[in-house]
Amino acid sequence: MGETFPMNGGDGDYSYTKNSQYQKRGSDSVKEMIQQAVSENLDTKISSTVAIADLGCSVGPNTFFTVENLIEAVQKKHPSKTLEFQVFFNDHSGNDFNTLFSSLPPERHYHAAGVPGSFHDRLFPRSSITVAHSSYAIHWLSKQPQGAPNEGRIHCLEAPEAVLRAYSDQYEKDLGDFVSARGEEIVTGGLVLLVFAAAPDGIPHSENINSVLFSYLGHCLMELANEGVVEKKKIDEFNLPLYYPTEGEVRRVIERNGCFSVVKMEMTYPYSEIKVRFKIGPFRAALEGVLIACFGNSVVEKVFSKMQIRSDEIVERLMAVHDFAQLFVVLKRK
């Protein structure tokens, strides 16, 4: 079983609930694309019940918007049928399902269920899911890539080739497990819709927006090491379990699995102004869990204070690199 670092639960200042506006922006940008993908490609024997899964749903509210969009799309595709929808909200068992359940829209037109567990494993019975969706989740690795020394850095961007290889190997294994589990769970003609952060082909890693952010995070951690607040060894051994694949890497894994045809794969850049308006809050909400697990609360508090102080400098640096890239992928079960 991999390590699990859920988004921050509850509704505090750094909760995912209050800091998922970037992810919402990402979801919004594919709203129409999702409608179109369902309309053009969903091709299952629809009986009376449609099962929808949101994988890596976190605690809302984004997952609720996504699910309503999917339901609307399926209903438009089958206007003459009276359909019942069962929606499975999946995330790690450490996710705050209590918050998720208490914030379910009261007027929803679907039967809701929460499914705890890693989407790198099986979650549902064979051929039981009509449409699976996952937004801003599959760029998380199941564990920290190991085996390649990564001194003074916390990620593979700007790291030696061996570190990058450890990351891409882990990613291939994880995406392979994900696709293989979904291959068993999705009905013939059913769809898997994926939205995640990616790396545009042909752009050097150092020009990636995340490279900049993780570099700053790494530098701030190293400053704390120099101040004696945190052990340098801990930083050397730590690898942020996030990976941004290229289109080619994703396509290769899916084709090797063989269960799905790639109906669509589209790179977009939905955050053109994110760089000017960069805020620490959402960045912190997404990464805090994994950092606290390794370095503890007080170090994480200090590291984000340091980043906060440098935010003008960070914004300036971000302006010089390539826009944040998002990959939208539609897979159809053969």
Q: How far is the CB of 54 from a second copy (least distance, A)?
A: 13
Distance CA 227, CA 307 (A): 16
**230 near 297, Cβ under 8 Å?**
no
Q: Which is nearer to a second copy, 48 or 80 (CB)?
A: 48
Taking CB under 8 A as the criterion, the residue among 116, 149, 204, 258 binding a second copy is 116
CA dihedral angle for residue 197, residue 11, residue 2, residue 140, rounded to 10 degrees: 0
Taking CB under 8 A as the criterion, the residue among 14, 22, 64, 88 binding a second copy is 88
Give the other-Cβ count within 10 Å of 3's Cβ: 15
Task: Pull the structure tokens for residue 116.
Answer: 């705890």
Contact string (CB under 8 A) for a second copy, positions 186-215, x = contact: ------------------------------
Distance CA 173, CA 197 (A): 18
Distance CA 271, CA 192 (A): 24
Q: How far is the CB of 93 from a second copy (least distance, A)?
A: 4
Task: Pull the structure tokens for residue 329.
Answer: 């992928």
Taking CB under 8 A as the criterion, the residue among 24, 29, 101, 317 binding a second copy is 101
Interaction of residue 59 with a second copy, rule CB under 8 A:
no
Taking CB under 8 A as the criterion, the residue among 76, 78, 81, 102 binding a second copy is 102
Q: Which is nearer to a second copy, 68 or 184 (CB)?
A: 184
Distance CA 5, CA 55 (A): 15
Interaction of residue 293 with a second copy, rule CB under 8 A:
no
Q: Count residues contacting a second copy (CB under 8 A)?
A: 27
Q: Give strand pairing partners of 192.
A: 132, 331
Taking CB under 8 A as the criterion, the residue among 54, 96, 249, 323 binding a second copy is 96
Query: Of the candidates 179, 186, 233, 211, which has an alpha carbon nearest to the alpha carbon of residue 325?
Result: 211
Interaction of residue 125 with a second copy, rule CB under 8 A:
yes
Question: Under the rule (CB under 8 A), what is the footprint of a second copy?
Answer: 48-49, 84-86, 88, 93-94, 96-98, 101-102, 104, 111-117, 122-126, 128
